[in-house]
Amino acid sequence: MINLKRVYDAVSPTDGTRLLIERLWPRGIKKTSLKIKSWIKDVAPSTELRQWFSHDPVKWDEFRRRYSAELRANPDAWKPIIDTALHATVTLIYSSHDTVHNNAIALEAFLNAHLPKKKSRHIQPARPRATLKAQPRRAKA
C-alpha cells in the first residue's frame, strides 16, 4: 500500500516506511523531525522538469507524461519502493503546498500502475457429486 503525506503533517504509526521523494530538502524542516527511512532524490523529477512545471496546473498533464518518461528511464530509483510496498505500508513524503498537482501524486499513480495486480481468488463452483444410481434389487431365491 502506498500513501502520501506532506512534510508538514504529523508522523503517525500507520505511516509505515516513510520515504522523502523530493530532490531538494524541504525548507524549514529539521532532518530529525521527518522520521524518514530514506531520502530518495533520484525518484524526484529532474531539476529541468521541476522548474518547467513550476506547479502550474495548466501544465499538469504534460508534466505527468514527462515525469513518467523519466521514471521509466530510471527503474532503479522506484523499484525499491515497489518492493517495500508489496510487504508493508509505504508513505511518500512530499513538500508541495499544492496537494492536487505535484510530483507525489504523479509518482503514486505511476507506482500503483507498476504494482503487481493481486490475484483474486476465484471460488470454483462446487462440482456436482456423483450420484449413486439405485441398483435393481435381486430377487431372493
Length of the chain: 141
CA 130 to each of CA 84, 126, 127, 133, 135: distance values in angstroms, whole numbers, following the listed order: 48, 12, 9, 9, 15
Specify whether the CB–CB gap between 43 and 107 falls below 8 A: yes
Neighbouring C-beta atoms of residue 104, cutoff 10 Å: 21
Phi, psi of 92 (to 5 degrees): -85, 125
What pTM did the predictor assign?
0.79
Specify whether the CB–CB gap between 95 and 6 falls below 8 A: yes
The residue type of 120 is S
pLDDT per residue of the chain (141 residues) written in tens, 0 to 9 = 999 999 999 999 999 999 999 999 999 899 888 899 999 999 999 999 999 999 999 999 999 999 999 999 999 999 999 999 999 999 999 999 999 999 999 999 999 999 887 644 444 444 444 444 555 555 555
